[in-house]
Chains A and B, each alone.
Chain A
């Protein structure tokens, strides 16, 4: 019987291909469950999960919470804004206090890269990384690959371009790891200032011409400009960015094939992607959101299975 090779989901970097396949196969079953009229299973009725978010989130937080509730886990939510963190408590103290209330699993988003890894070493609970700074966002990458697999049948051999702010994006990094692990070809495309210098060491190619990148790819994953992380000016104006790296209907119609458009959200309509593209039939943005719940159910279910009584 298959089980995950890890006890925590800290990043795609720590998974192997078999893990990803197991998560996908489990997610297939959960996708069937969440399309029933009664969308709940009792598997995790004796598990308590804390969602600890030190950074803002709408989609990810809701998606995790829904996944946990659909598995019948008890859920507690914690946002740093209203907590003792503001009073100077350390991360380990905060989490250990929560764990002494008999919590089995922690889903954490944190602005610092490596926060999940640090926590996994120091506290006794299964940790799921829901985004740590510009490092990784593993469940997003899993649901992105799962959506590609669903739309195109397979991830292996597909050409995927990730467009936008690669430098500050945990989604980009996790996606690169996940796609490479499954045998996809990956290019990144964005302003040179927002593409890390050593990104090619991960086995991806850099393309600065959006049209060429789109012509090459089967799937384009559009990222948002993370204004909150831009400490200096990386490009002259948003308008100029849109002209160079924004995807619009005209650009897509000019290609000689139909490509799949993805976006991890939140979308800045009119910046990286126009409304008519976001809402077109080529876009699988809302499928990604639906698949997010199934993927997170699978991850939580498989990790919870490794917590012994």
Chain B
């Protein structure tokens, strides 16, 4: 198993700042916008973006939620491993809101498909956008593309893109692991 660093902590920070600016450009005061991090790893991206928006651009009180998609996935009973659920916490209605779904890695698009279905339980949003830190090109199973992407990478199926966060793994780093 070999691995190489795709992005360092500094590069991730620059990318997150750019993504925050792009969000700001489209949503300005975030009055009708909600950010939804997809469990388990999208929530870290969402948290960082909120921190940057609050600290550097003075946009505070952004409505933020976390969405677990386990019960909406299309591979229940299809894999060897059971699907284990995590917490969902969306304490507001998304009716008529602009929703930005946030995840770390966009790969087949199936998670996002599940997330779009799961979102329907919380109302009918005005629109839904997708932000992802890493977009793995040429690997989609579904016609899903991000509105905001951090970095586009080419990775073959045997490779895994692993996003590590300071709060979980000690440092911010993105690895390309060859299994």
Name the one of B77, B82, B87, B122 contacting A29, with C-beta atoms under 8 angstroms. B87
B72 pairs with A307, CB closer than 8 A: no
Residues facing B in A20-35 (CB within 8 A) are 25-26, 28-29, 32-33
Contacts of B76 in A (CB 8 A): 43-44, 304-305
Identify which of A2, A32, A36, A42 contacts B72 (C-beta below 8 A): A42
Interface size for A (C-beta < 8 A) is: 28
User: Which residues of chain A are near B81, meaning CB under 8 Å?
Assistant: 1
A41 at interface by CB-CB < 8 Å: yes
A302 contacts partner chain B, Cβ-Cβ < 8 Å: yes
Q: Which residue of B lies closest to A301 (CB)?
A: B71
CA distance A309 to B76 in the complex (A): 10
A37 and B95 alpha carbons, distance in the complex (Å):
12
What separation, in Å, do the CA atoms of A237 and B86 have in the docked complex?
52
Known contacts A29-B68, A43-B72; A308/B77 CB under 8 A: yes
B122 and A302: CB pair below 8 A?
A: no
With a cutoff of 8 Å between Cβ atoms, the chain A residues found around residue B87 in the complex are 28-29, 32
A125 to B120 Cα, complex, angstroms: 33
A232 touches B (CB below 8 Å): no
- Residue on B nearest A104 in the bound complex, by CB: B77
B152 on the interface (CB 8 Å rule)? no
B89: chain A residues at CB < 8 Å are 32
Question: Once the chains are docked, how many angstroms separate the CA of A1 from the CA of B70?
Answer: 13
Residue of A32, A37, A39, A302 touching B82 (CB-CB under 8 A): A302
Chain B interface, number of residues (Cβ within 8 angstroms): 24
Q: Is A89 an interface residue (CB 8 A)?
A: no
Query: Is B24 interfacial (CB-CB < 8 Å)?
Result: no
Contact status A306-B120, CB under 8 Å: no
- Establish whether residues A32 and B88, one from each chain, have CB atoms under 8 Å apart when the complex forms: yes
Closest to B95 in A: A37
How many angstroms between the C-alpha atoms of A122 and B161 in the bound complex?
46
Q: Is A3 an interface residue (CB 8 A)?
A: yes
Q: Once the chains are docked, how many angstroms separate the CA of A306 from the CA of B79?
A: 10
Contact A33–B82 (Cβ < 8 Å): no
State the main secondary structure of chain A at its contact with B: loop
Smallest CB separation, A78 vs chain B (Å): 24
22 contacts between A and B (CB under 8 A): A1-B81, A1-B83, A3-B82, A25-B85, A26-B85, A32-B88, A33-B121, A36-B121, A37-B93, A41-B118, A41-B121, A42-B71, A42-B117, A43-B73, A46-B77, A301-B71, A305-B76, A305-B77, A305-B82, A305-B83, A306-B82, A309-B77
On chain B, the residues within 8 Å of A101 by CB distance are none
Given A41-B71, A304-B77, the answer on whether A36 and B84 have CB atoms closer than 8 Å is no
What residues of B have a CB within 8 angstroms of the CB of A39 in the complex? 121
Question: In the bound complex, how far is the Cα of B82 from the Cα of A25, in angstroms?
Answer: 14
B123 to chain A, nearest CB (A): 8
Which residues from 173 to 211 on chain A have a C-beta closer than 8 Å to any C-beta of chain B?
none
Q: 7 other contacts beyond A1-B81, A46-B77, with CB at 8 A cut-off?
A: A29-B85, A32-B87, A39-B121, A41-B72, A41-B118, A305-B76, A307-B77
Give CA–CA (A237, B84) in the complex, Å. 51
Residues on B with C-beta less than 8 A from A304 are 76-77
Determine the distance from Cα of A36 to Cα of B87 in the docked complex, in whole angstroms.
Answer: 13
Instruction: Chain A residues near B71: list those with CB within 8 A.
Output: 29, 33, 41-43, 71, 301
CB distance from A186 to the nearest CB of B (A): 30
Decide yes or no whether B78 CB sits under 8 A from chain A.
Answer: yes
Please give, as numbers and ranges, the residues of chain A lying within 8 Å of B121 by CB-CB distance: 33, 36-41
Q: State A301–B83 Cα separation when bound (angstroms).
A: 10
Knowing A32-B87, A42-B117, say if A2 contacts B82 (CB, 8 Å). Answer: yes
- Please give the distance in Å from A55's CB to the nearest CB on chain B: 31
Residues in B neighbouring A44, C-beta threshold 8 A: 76
